[in-house]
Amino acid sequence: MSTFWNWKTAVATLALAVAVGCSGGGESTTPTNEGKTPDAGGTSAAARPTPTAPTVKAEGDTIKIGIVGSLTGDQKPWGDDSIKGAEMAVAEFNAAGGVNGKKIELLIGDSASKPDQAKSATEKLLSDGVIGIVGEVASGNTIQIASAAFEKSVPVVAVGATRTDLTDKGTHVVRVCYTDDFQGPVMAKFAYDDLGLRKVGIITDNKAPYSQGLSKSFEKTFKELGGEIVGEVFYETGQTDFTGPINEIKGKTPDGLFLSGYFPEVGPMAQAIRNSGMKDVKLLGGDGWDSPQILTSGGDAILGAFMCNHYNNKESRPIVQEFLTKYKKENGGKEPATTMAALGYDAMALILDAVKRAKSLDSVALMEALNETEGFEGVSGTINLKGRGGNPDKQALVVEIRPLAEGFQVFRKAYAPSDLVKN
């Protein structure tokens, strides 16, 4: 039997291709700058590329807005909340009459808690003709949404994606949350100044990009302030036994621990920390802690810990109380399970506000309107986006965790972005 591709040929071809590949790789030391060079800095607002694709017009008698969230998979609780929040904003907007007699049609895409599925869902929404997208809770998924939306010049409002370089993807990406570069330093400064901590250990969820990023920015600022990071230990989302990392960090006798993960793991970890004998060590964390559930999973151990949050459910601003009342009414009297409900609401409300302000009902005009946002009053605070490269200059609140009877999150201190600069 004669063959065209016998296995030797196949292997030989492979080897040849590989050899070519290697020699090509070797030339990589002499990069040339012909053609379009990707910008290396990318930190300033000016460096953000602007999408060039033709604008998407809102056709038909509704305006289509999409939301991508985790309807399935391990981030479902956060995804569900962001979608609930967004749905509330849309319902309010439509009840108020929409814009130009047109109502909003909300299309929901499932990211299945995975970046590749998030991109597929986005492409699907884009092919359905949405003019704006409310992004994901996680940065890894949102960056994929952003790169798909870039090709169609459709703006993306990220819900909870705190990854700092996310908005460098293009002028079409804005967010309603603060960035890791703000939240981490806020907690570092609070720990150093107000709690007087000098030796802090970090416990990071190694599976969550959010946690890794937050730990990094905390560590950087805390060291700059003069504190010592005694060590960083790791666990993974879904792990049930935390004794390994806790014993490890206990041996280094920290006076404070920064737990940058999400509340379902932080609660049991706090209990394990107390059970391991670290009774007086102060616990600190980010907005991933925000859920009343942390009180049951953390028990007494979590009380007296400090976290960073976007807003405080006891705030007197009317929009906060209106939102909470309405949320409870629509969800059987339950408080939002995570902070993403408020952020999802804000992200959608921000898009809808921009729809009203946009010069015309199309995606590019919407994108411009979003970047012109000034003084938008959201549940999570006032959002200014004009000239800020897509990152709002929101306050961060440091709250102390107290029992539900005392109000769960008791306000301690507010930081504005300017507070960090002047040091």
Q: Shortest approach of another protein to residue 357 CB, angstroms?
A: 28
Of the pair 6, 100, the CB lying nearest another protein is at 6
Q: Give the three-class secondary structure for 116.
A: helix
Contact 65, 90 (CB under 8 A): yes
Those residues with Cβ within 8 angstroms of residue 9's Cβ, 6 or more apart along the chain or in another chain: 3
Q: Shortest approach of another protein to residue 18 CB, angstroms?
A: 4
Q: Shortest approach of another protein to residue 270 CB, angstroms?
A: 8
Of the pair 41, 318, the CB lying nearest another protein is at 41
Contact 309, 283 (CB under 8 A): no
Of the pair 126, 341, the CB lying nearest another protein is at 126
Q: Shortest approach of another protein to residue 95 CB, angstroms?
A: 19
For residue 418, the one-letter residue type is S
262: exposed, middle or buried (Cβ count in 10 Å: 0-12, 13-18, 19+)? buried
How far apart are the C-alpha atoms of 162 and 213, rounded to whole Å? 9
Q: CB-side exposure of 8: number of CA atoms within 13 Å?
A: 2
Q: Shortest approach of another protein to residue 356 CB, angstroms?
A: 28
How far apart are the C-alpha atoms of 134 and 104, rounded to whole Å? 13
Of the pair 26, 375, the CB lying nearest another protein is at 26
> Dihedrals φ, ψ of 35, to 5°?
70, -160
Q: Shortest approach of another protein to residue 231 CB, angstroms?
A: 8
CB burial of 214-235 (b: ≥16 within 10 Å; e: otherwise) equals bbbbbbebbeeeebebbbbbbb
Q: CB-side exposure of 53: number of CA atoms within 13 Å?
A: 19
Q: Shortest approach of another protein to residue 196 CB, angstroms?
A: 3
Of the pair 283, 358, the CB lying nearest another protein is at 283
Of the pair 114, 310, the CB lying nearest another protein is at 114
CA angle 145, 150, 152 (to 5 degrees): 105
Of the pair 76, 317, the CB lying nearest another protein is at 76
- The DSSP bridge pattern shows strands 282-285 and 306-309 to be parallel
